[in-house]
Structures are given as structure tokens and as C-alpha cells.
Amino acid sequence: MTRITPPLRQSPGGHGDSADPAIAALTQLLQSERELALTEEPSLVERHDPGRVWLLWFAIGATDEVCGLVERNAHSERNRIFRQVVAVIFDGGAKSLAANQADPAMADKRLIDLFESAGAAAVQACMRGDTRLGYYLEALKVSADRGTPPLLS
């Protein structure tokens, strides 16, 4: 976790909720985490998260943490925020969750917890003012070190 978070920029596709600071911050965090992983370990990302399923689990943990911090506990609020996050993860619709053939039921529950926890930890670090990145990449490395087969799309 050595990289520094780049300045906040608007999410691709000009999502309607870009004025919402929670969504903007969450979007920036996810984009930055993915960019770092692709820059530092592109083959690891390609081998272990080609369908971005682990990034999605990372985003679930981060979204839950953000919603808790900004007191958006209503199911509809969480869903609205998460829809924006999914659009970012799958390039504004170029890929879709529906087109992803990975079966979440086939995923190891411990790895799901690992990626959700990594997402929450990344948000907590940002809230403490820590600008380092690499939580998603570290979770991918742990997954690879365990010899876990990739969750293919």
C-alpha cells in the first residue's frame, strides 16, 4: 500500500449523482484502487479478477462502510449508491453484471469476506486521512498466495 490517492475527478460517464460527495469519493477510491492494481500487477488482475467480481465484492464492503459513515442506512439509499458503483466497475455499462458469468455461489466465503473487509478498510483509511492505496491489490495477492483459483467471468 504505497501509492497516494490522486486528486478527485468526476466518474466516467457523467453519472447523475456525481454531485453527491459520498458517491464521488467512493467512485474515486474504486477507480484508484483498480488503476493501481492494473499498473503494478496487471497479470495478477487478469488472472485472478478478469470479470471484476472481486472488485465488486471490494466495492460492496466499501459501499457499506461509506453508507454507515454518512448515515445512509435505508436500503433504497444503499441500492442507489451501489448502482452508481456498479456502473463504474463495469465501465459505465460496457460490461454489465448480468453479462458476467461468474457464479457468486461458487466463491469461497472467506475470500468474499477478505475483499469486503479490504473495501471497508480502504474507506476507513481515507476517513483517517491516509492517502495510501493498495487494499484491493493486497486482497488479490492474498487470494493468489492461497492458491485460490480465479473466479472467472
* pLDDT confidence of residue 14: 42
- Residues 136, 46: Cα–Cα separation, whole Å: 14
CA 4 to chain centre: 17
* pLDDT confidence of residue 106: 59
CA of 109: how far to CAs of 31, 47, 114, in Å? 25, 19, 8
- Residues 103, 53: Cα–Cα separation, whole Å: 9
The percentage of residues in the chain with a pLDDT greater than 70, rounded to a whole number, is 73
C-alpha dihedral (84, 133, 107, 48), degrees to nearest 10: 110
- The string of pLDDT tens digits covering residues 15-74 is 444 578 888 989 999 999 999 999 999 999 999 898 898 999 999 999 999 999 888 878
The percentage of residues in the chain with a pLDDT greater than 90, rounded to a whole number, is 42
- The string of pLDDT tens digits covering residues 105-117 is 556 788 899 999 9
- Residues 62, 120: Cα–Cα separation, whole Å: 4
Question: What does the H/E/C string look like for 90-103?
Answer: CHHHCCCCCCCCCC
* pLDDT confidence of residue 149: 61
* pLDDT confidence of residue 103: 53
- Res. 2 pLDDT band, cuts 50 70 90: very low
What are the domain boundaries of the chain?
A: 21-145
- Res. 8 pLDDT band, cuts 50 70 90: very low
Count of residues in the chain = 153
C-alpha dihedral (96, 92, 117, 61), degrees to nearest 10: -90
Residue 64 C-alpha cell reads as 457499506
